[in-house]
Amino acid sequence: MPFQDLSLIDDIRAASRLMVRELGFMEQTVAATDYPPSAVHTIVEIGTRGPLTSAELSEILHLEKSSVSRMVRKLIECGELKETVDADDARIKQLSLTAKGRRTLAALHDFGRRQVSGALEHLSEADRETVRDGLMIYARALRASRDDDELKLRDGQSQRV
């Protein structure tokens, strides 16, 4: 049976919406760039994880492959990403940051760190740790819930076949 404390649920939803707005994700471009949120996340993920394929990006970002493909094309055209054919399988193209992409990534990290640092200045050390721990716990719980939903969907589909 799902958790039913509607007051708590609504408070968390309201806080989540406020965070999304405060972090700038409702704007057309994010983090003082000319890019939409999905492109910013792409640059950060490739910069953090190293070369990725479009399929891997699609899974990480929870976006349709066609959307990722269009976004990757634009980032390549803008000089942020480059494609390299995999040495073992020519069908696989690894995406990595160019020199421009690495500069954009550094600017994104700087912007994000300033934004979070400014917020943390208003909190005690204990509250800072509470925020970090709470966000990490909540993010893991959201992922677990999504994984459960995907499993239920797959199980339901396999039973109907």
In this structure, which amino acid lies at residue 97?
A: L
> pTM for the whole thing?
0.83
DSSP state of 14: H
Q: Work out the widest C-alpha separation in the chain, in whole angstroms.
A: 56
Task: Say how far apart CA 111 and CA 139 lie, in whole Å.
Answer: 22
pLDDT per residue as tens digits for the range 15-65: 999 999 998 888 888 888 899 999 999 999 999 999 999 999 999 999 999
